[in-house]
Homo-oligomer: A and B are copies of this chain.
Amino acid sequence: MVPTIEWKDGIVRMLDQTRLPLEVTYFECKTYQDVAKGIKELIIRGAPAIGVAAAMGVALGAQDVKAQNFTDFYGEIEKICSHIGATRPTAVNLFWAIERMKRFIQSHRERPLNAIKELLIEEANRVLREDVEANRAMGKHGAQFIKDGNTILTHCNAGALATGGYGTALGVIRAAKEQGKDINVFADETRPVLQGARLTAWELMEDNIPVTLITDNMAGYFMKKGAIDLCIVGADRIARNGDAANKIGTYSVAVLAREHDIPFYVAAPVSTIDFAIPSGEHIPIEERNRAEVTHVFGKVQIAPAKVRVANPAFDVTPARYITAIITEKGAFKPEDIYKLTE
């Protein structure tokens, strides 16, 4: 697989996910503003990948800071962080990564500024590396839930493209495949941005994992037919009580899974858990541009020009619909994830 994001020769290079699968192109960020633009415009997306991008964005921005003392330097860092933090409200990994970088800087405040700048690049790369490691651990913990011969439904893209690499939900699927299990995947296309059709289908085909693409409204049909054994999705933010925000439509998949007695798993790193909020009601839901709904690829009009549109980008699946949350620390019942703070 091509890397989703990397630090290379002093720039941050992102695979442009808005162009996939038709074109494999890269978006090169020379400034932290470029990184913020990449996040905001979905050139990079997926909660863990957004976290990595934010960390790299802070490191990139730091290189250009001209301050002569730590106080001034940190003041500039705070501006950079608030610019990057203003891109997307729902995925908590964005804020988690920004806070991590800030704490890292504070913990090295006695070092010369040039040394801090160098260390920030290392730290951003560590965020990337740790994310991949977390995904591999998640894969091991999650693969137990997939039996030989199973067909798995997934929604949106929680794959290598949504993370530093390997993937959360797709990481679990990859791990099951690596264990020699014969598996099939149904991928919801995931309107409006079509991450399932464009990214999940592409990733799984690249890995030779059999995948069938369906429109979002077909999931219930295939569950009723008995074609789906389990569902695995990622998450953008998980509340302390186990309620999980993920791409719009996840909640509907969870309700349908419950109706058909199909297990429903959420795979996400601990960095996706927001221990500060008691329930999903506190998760802000991003409302995106109407053009995502009225146009495909922002170009092809599919609805009357002046139609009223709603475009919430996420929904919250209450903990009671979730069979288990799979993290790098193991799989937990949703009501037990608060224990991960201990």
Contacts and interface: CB of A to CB of B under 8 A. Distances in A.
| Chain A residues touching B, range | 35 or more
A190 B302 CA distance: 11
Nearest to A194: B302
A222 interface: yes
A220 B252 contact: yes
Given A191-B191, A255-B220, A303 B248 contact: no
A301 interface: yes
A327 interface: no
B301 A22 contact: yes
Question: Quick one: copies of this chain in the complex?
Answer: 2
A192 B194 CA distance: 12
A296 interface: yes
A302 B296 contact: yes
Nearest to A224: B251
Contact of A304 (B21, B212, B304, B311): B21
A218 B308 contact: no
A1 to B, nearest CB: 14
Contact of A249 (B190, B217, B251): B217
A310 B194 CA distance: 16
Interface string A269-306: 00000000000000000000000011011011111101
Contacts of A211: 307-308
A119 interface: no
16 contacts: A191-B191, A197-B293, A205-B306, A212-B308, A212-B309, A214-B309, A215-B216, A215-B249, A219-B252, A221-B248, A221-B252, A221-B312, A224-B251, A224-B315, A255-B255, A296-B296
